[in-house]
Structures are given as C-alpha cells and as structure tokens.
Structure 1
C-alpha cells in the first residue's frame, strides 16, 4: 500500500512540474541583451494607455499578481514617457509618487483623469491630483524639484531603452524575460491572472 502511495505521489509531482513549465515564444520572450541591475519584476505602463487602464483599474491584474509573488520579491512599476502630450510630466509625477510612497493613492485618480473624465491636461492638473489625494502642495513641489525624482526619471527612461520597450503594459522578469500577454490562457479573467502569476514565478526560478 505504501509503495502505491509513493508511486502516486511521484506521478502527481511530475504533473505538478509540467503544470509550471512554460514555453519561450508562447508565454514569454527572452531578451537578446539582458538588462543589468533591473528590479526582479518590472512593469511598464502609461496613464494614456487604454489597455493599461483595463489591466490596472478594471481587472486589477497588477495587484493580484503582486499578492502572489514569492516572499521577498518586489514588483516595481515604471511609467513610459513617450505617449501623450504630457507623458514626460506624468513620468516625473510617477517618480514623485514613488519617492513619497503614494503610488496606490494617485494611480486611480490619474488613470480616471486621463481615461474617463479627461480633465488632466497640464502639469498643474497632475499637481492637483496629488493634493486631492492628501499630499501637501509644498511637499509635492519639493519632491518634483528634488534630485531624487530627477534620478528616478532618468532610471525609468534608461530602463525602457535597455529593455527595448515596444509597448505597454509590459512586464519584465530579472531583466531577461518579458511576459507575452497574448500567449496566456484567456478562457477567463481568473485563468489569465493565475497564469500570469505562475509564469512570473516560473521565470523568477530560471537561472
């Protein structure tokens, strides 16, 4: 009886291993020239991007994936500055949000202001969103002009170039792999989100 049990456990382990194995070119792509010193899980997005809006605000894929990451693995988000008339200002504002640790507060407001109400048209409108979310005007202005924010802007721009970013939303793992969004299971939103998380965990384990 014990022998049969161990055989069954062995079969289950094989199926488990197969279930967590993914194929290059189908669920992910390997980058020709791996980027150096990038966060382990890095997402690029734009507040102007309708797909990013759905990804973040409708289906909450980023937050669901973030919760499923292994302990100690952080998900970092960078803004792409070449989309939209105030794309560069939004990237700098995102650097302010990163510096102040208020990404989750301002992200929904910025998305809504650009995708739904379309009442964000100038850098001053962006500033008003931060104030609306509880950030003091003086704190925002100080951060906006700080050396740290300028450094974060450059870091986002350099990462986009190093990873040869072609579009958003895009998620990169260890600077070596990119998730192929259209290669995931789209039979349901849960299946898509779960496989997204599984592919990330699989790629994090690759050497």
Structure 2
C-alpha cells in the first residue's frame, strides 16, 4: 500500500544555508532514461487527502514558486491512489479547476474543508456543490466535468503517477526526470538548492 509521508524536519525547520553536495540515489532518483524536458518544470505530485500536502501547500509552495530558477514552470499532478474511489474523483475535481482556471481560488478552500472542517466528500456531485458555493458557475463545472480536456488531463496525471515511481506525497519531480528524495533534505533551502542543481542536468 502506498503511504502518505513527508519529512517532518522539512516541515519544521527554518531556512538555513547549506553547501550540500547532491548525489544520485541519495538526494534524487532518475525516473526516466529520456532526456530532461525541453521546457524546465517542477511538478508537485499531491493529493487533497494528504495532510502533509496541505501543510506543504500553505507553507512551502508559495516559496517554491517564487524561487524557481528563471524560466522554470511550476505544475501540479493530483494522484488518485489515496482516498479509494474518491481519490479518482478528486483528481477529476482538480482537472476541472485547472480547465476553468480556478485552482488558485478553490484549492486552499478544498484543502481546508477536508483537513480543518473534516468534511468527507462522497461524490463528484457533492464536490460540484462545494465549487458552486465558492463562486464557480454550475453550468461551467458540468460542461468541464466530462470534457475532452478534463478526461485527457485525468488520464495524463494517472500515467504520470504510474511512471514516476513515487511511493508517497508530496513529491517533487524536476524536468519530468529527477525525483527529489525528501528524506535526504535537512531544510527547505536544501530543497531549493537541489531544485536548482537538478534543473541544470541533461
């Protein structure tokens, strides 16, 4: 069974200077034999049901996005292996928010609803009601829910998750090739240094 995890120290330690020497197999894992993506990117694999992802989204994602190397894009990939069938529903909910351009608006509210208010969603219809209550047009939600774009994104996220080799979330993959080994890091600054280092690899 896949597990939900995040290095506790990474969530608790302040930024600290580091002169780490990064090594394959220790600090990162190569997940593809193909060349790194032509367009630099940092992809967060996450789940709305993961409490560590909730903390990470509040405390570190804004810093991560603000400090990425020039030209590097931040992306997210919702995994479907947490939450049983609702894991798949939440992946679709994320894809809908991306297609409608409301992720920045909805994501923190959805995380809070699940982890602070302890709301257990039971269906996509219930998720739709939550989106609508928070300003998303019901007809636009319905149109997006079964659209080609959302279906394609859901399939793409599922394939990316299977190909990533991740065992838990949150997980960060750089340029579709390098998986950061969270347990090897002592601080968030270590992570940013590793992100920068990996962005230069072929």
Separation in structure 1 between the aligned mates of residue 143 and residue 36 of structure 2, nearest angstrom: 31
Say if 2:42 and 2:172, in contact at 8 Å, map to a contact too. yes
Give the structure 1 partner of residue 89 of structure 2: 89
Label 1:117 to 1:141 Cα distance change in 2 as closer, same or farther (>3 A): same
The reply on whether 1:137 has 2:138 as its aligned counterpart is yes
State the structure with bigger RCO (CA 8 A, min sep 6), 1 or 2.
2
The reply on whether 1:146 has 2:147 as its aligned counterpart is yes
The reply on whether 1:61 has 2:56 as its aligned counterpart is no
So what's the TM-score if we normalise by structure 2? 0.81
CA shift, 1:129, in A, is: 2.4
For residue 76 of structure 1, give the secondary structure of its aligned residue in structure 2.
strand
Give the structure 2 partner of residue 200 of structure 1: 195
Give the structure 1 partner of residue 70 of structure 2: 71
CA RMSD of aligned residues (A): 2.2
Say if 1:110 and 1:126, in contact at 8 Å, map to a contact too. no
So what's the TM-score if we normalise by structure 1? 0.80
Q: Could you list the structure 1 runs, at least 4 aligned residues long, displaced by more than 4 angstroms after superposition.
A: 32-39
Q: More displaced, 124-133 or 150-159?
A: 124-133
Gaps of 5+ in 1: 1-17, 186-191
Label 1:196 to 1:132 Cα distance change in 2 as closer, same or farther (>3 A): farther
Give the structure 1 partner of residue 128 of structure 2: 127
Label 1:23 to 1:40 Cα distance change in 2 as closer, same or farther (>3 A): same
Say if 2:79 and 2:157, in contact at 8 Å, map to a contact too. yes
Say if 1:21 and 1:202, in contact at 8 Å, map to a contact too. no
Q: After superposition, what is the alpha-carbon deviation per residue over 1:84-137, rounded to whole angstroms, capped at 9, x for unaligned?
A: 141111000100111112111111111112212122422223112221332111
Give the structure 2 partner of residue 168 of structure 1: 169
Which structure has the greater CA radius of gyration? 1
For residue 29 of structure 2, give the secondary structure of its aligned residue in structure 1.
strand
For residue 64 of structure 2, give the secondary structure of its aligned residue in structure 1.
helix
Q: More displaced, 116-125 or 139-148?
A: 116-125
Say if 1:131 and 1:137, in contact at 8 Å, map to a contact too. yes
Q: After superposition, what is the alpha-carbon deviation per residue over 1:12-67, rounded to whole angstroms, capped at 9, x for unaligned?
A: xxxxxx9374222332222264598697211100111121112113xx21121111
Higher percent of residues as helix? 1
Q: More displaced, 146-155 or 82-91?
A: 82-91
